[in-house]
Amino acid sequence: MKVLVVGANGQIGKHLVRFIQDSESLEAKAMIRKEEQASFFQELGAETVVVDLEDDPETITKATEGVDAVVFTAGSGPNTGPDKTMMIDLDGAVKTIEAAKSAGVKRYVMISSFDTTRDAIQSAPESFAPYVVAKHYADVWLRGTDLDYTIIHPGRLNNEDGTGEVEASSKVERGEIPREDVARVILNTLENEATIGKEFQVVSGSTSIEDAIQSL
């Protein structure tokens, strides 16, 4: 299975591409914004494609052709304003969803925010609310398609070494999770067809990632 990793140059994306390239059944196509970002992925033997999420839908669709799955790991980042949040986390996500449909790609994995419910929007701090709104409507858009989707809601991200152990369910207590473990969760999600049509929250825990995904 060839997997287009959207946001490949991000911290989760880099871990994910590395794990995919180490797997026996998957291969990665890394979607990056700048040509100078390509060397990291080329050293892993991964294909790269230079596309900006603010590009037109046709360009994104072309990047999606020839793959079997799309994983959206992109994000506008904490230092951008609401305008970039809407352009990347909402419009960019929707364009990749539509690109998958146009290119005939059925499998789609969305890395969302921990809680994207209406209650989460209403209770979010003013500075964080646009991000929750963007993720909320991107999730809504994906649920409304006939894609074989999975929506992953990770807890607060950190850069600690992954433990390989998590807690995953439709609803879990808030907590943290290393980005490396999120990438492993994505990998196991791609390898397990039982995750199709499901969404779940995930934080650090005491269950192996493989077992946690298997039990969803």
pLDDT band at 4 (very low <50, low <70, confident <90, very high): very high
Rounded average pLDDT over 89-106 = 97
77 pLDDT higher than 80: no
Rounded average pLDDT over 71-98 = 89
Report pLDDT digits (tens) over 131-144.
999 999 999 999 99
Which pLDDT score is estimated for 157? 97
Rounded average pLDDT over 4-16 = 97
What do you get for the CA distance between the two ends of the chain, in Å? 22
Is residue 9 a contact partner of residue 37, using CB atoms and an 8 Å limit?
yes
Amino acid identity of 55? D
Report pLDDT digits (tens) over 13-24.
999 999 999 999
pLDDT band at 79 (very low <50, low <70, confident <90, very high): low
pLDDT band at 83 (very low <50, low <70, confident <90, very high): confident
- Helix or strand run (H / E) with residue 48: strand 47-50
- Helix or strand run (H / E) with residue 133: helix 129-143
Question: Distance between CA 92 and CA 127 in Å, rounded?
Answer: 20
78 pLDDT higher than 70: no
Report pLDDT digits (tens) over 151-172.
999 999 999 999 999 999 999 9
Which pLDDT score is estimated for 179? 98
Question: Distance between CA 71 and CA 187 in Å, rounded?
Answer: 10
Q: Is 98 helix (H, G, I), strand (E, B) or coil?
A: helix
Q: Indicate if the alpha-carbon torsion angle 111, 151, 15, 216 is positive or negative.
A: positive
Nearest to 117 by CA among 147, 148, 87, 143: 143
Taking all residues of the chain, what is their mean pLDDT, rounded to a whole number? 96
Question: Distance between CA 84 and CA 79 in Å, rounded?
Answer: 10
Question: Distance between CA 120 and CA 133 in Å, rounded?
Answer: 9
Question: Distance between CA 84 and CA 106 in Å, rounded?
Answer: 28
Structural tokens at position 26: 């998957």
Nearest to 209 by CA among 177, 151, 168: 168
Catalytic residue among 108, 131, 137, 149: 131
Question: Distance between CA 76 and CA 111 in Å, rounded?
Answer: 13
108 catalytic per annotation: no
Structural domains for the chain: 2-154 (3.40.50.720)
Is residue 180 a contact partner of residue 15, using CB atoms and an 8 Å limit?
yes
Question: Distance between CA 122 and CA 128 in Å, rounded?
Answer: 11
The number of CA neighbours under 13 Å toward the Cβ of 88 is 21
80 pLDDT higher than 80: no
DSSP code for 9: T
Which pLDDT score is estimated for 75? 87
Q: Is 4 helix (H, G, I), strand (E, B) or coil?
A: strand
